[in-house]
């Protein structure tokens, strides 16, 4: 659809089973786009290994003379912790930058993240710094099988998460509670194999 100096490009609405849909508005003069990619019922591996990796590591020649904003709207994710989320990217002068990202943990709180990719001895690593804000402590204690008394004074948990894209290993490290200066709750690297491993780590840190 074209109107005056604007073009609108949207995914067809007939296919109800479509998991990825595009909604975009493009200004022609000067050229600038504002696009939202709605992603539904996909898992974290698809997002980290494929979608976000492709966006942040786009080659310069593909972005020449392209300026705009791209939003990933994540809904009903196949994840035992995160339900929904939104990631915003800015594309300017042959580069892609992460503006902000927020993930919703149903009935508990939210996680804000900053992330990047780097190479370590030939392996591609997804690295993130995260702030987990607990809104509903009662539900948090229930989900992670904790005593409510143990978390009554904990409002935020800071942690780093890394995933090796090549071997699929996930590590959590540098855990702080309420960001008390120079006081880490845990500084080792913990291998997270599954949800139960994560729950055990949370209970150990908060006990």
Q: Given a cut of 90, is residue 1 above it in pLDDT?
A: no
- pLDDT tens string 151-203: 988 999 999 999 999 999 999 999 998 876 556 666 689 999 999 999 999 99
- pLDDT tens string 77-105: 999 899 999 999 999 877 889 999 999 99
* Residue 74 burial by Cβ neighbours in a 10 Å radius (0-12, 13-18, 19+): buried
For residues 50 and 44, give the distance between their C-alpha atoms in angstroms, rounded to a whole number. Answer: 10
Q: What is the DSSP string of 128-155?
A: EEEEEEES-HHHHHHHTT--GGGGTT--
The mean pLDDT of the chain is 89
- pLDDT tens string 102-137: 999 989 999 999 999 999 999 999 999 999 999 999
The CA angle 92-97-100, to the nearest 5 degrees, is 125
pTM > 0.75: yes
pLDDT at position 142, please?
A: 93
Q: What is the mean pLDDT of residues 40-58?
A: 91
Phi, psi of 171, deg, nearest 5: -125, 145
Task: Please report which residue ranges of 7-153 form alpha helices under DSSP H.
Answer: 44-45, 52-56, 137-143
For residue 146, what are its two tokens?
A: 């904790």
For residues 129 and 125, give the distance between their C-alpha atoms in angstroms, rounded to a whole number. Answer: 13
């Amino acid at each position: 659809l074209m109107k005056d100096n604007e073009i609108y490009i949207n995914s067809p609405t007939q296919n109800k089973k479509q998991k990825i849909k595009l909604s975009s508005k493009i200004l022609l003069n000067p050229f600038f786009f504002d696009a939202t990619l709605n992603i539904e019922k996909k898992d974290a591996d698809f997002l980290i290994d494929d979608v976000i990796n492709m966006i942040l590591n786009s080659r310069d020649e593909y972005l020449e003379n392209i300026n705009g904003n791209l939003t990933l709207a994540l809904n009903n994710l196949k994840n035992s912790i995160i339900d929904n989320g939104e990631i915003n990217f800015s594309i300017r002068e042959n580069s892609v930058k992460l503006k902000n990202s927020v993930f919703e943990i149903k009935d508990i709180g939210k996680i804000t993240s900053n992330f990047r990719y780097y190479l370590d001895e030939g392996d591609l690593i997804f690295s993130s710094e995260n702030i987990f804000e607990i809104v509903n402590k009662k539900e948090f204690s229930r989900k992670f099988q904790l005593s409510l008394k143990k978390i009554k004074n904990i409002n935020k948990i800071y942690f780093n998460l890394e995933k090796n894209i090549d071997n699929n290993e996930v590590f959590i490290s540098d855990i702080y509670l309420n960001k008390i200066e120079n006081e880490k709750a845990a500084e080792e690297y913990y291998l997270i194999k599954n949800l139960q491993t994560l729950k055990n780590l949370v209970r150990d840190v908060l006990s």
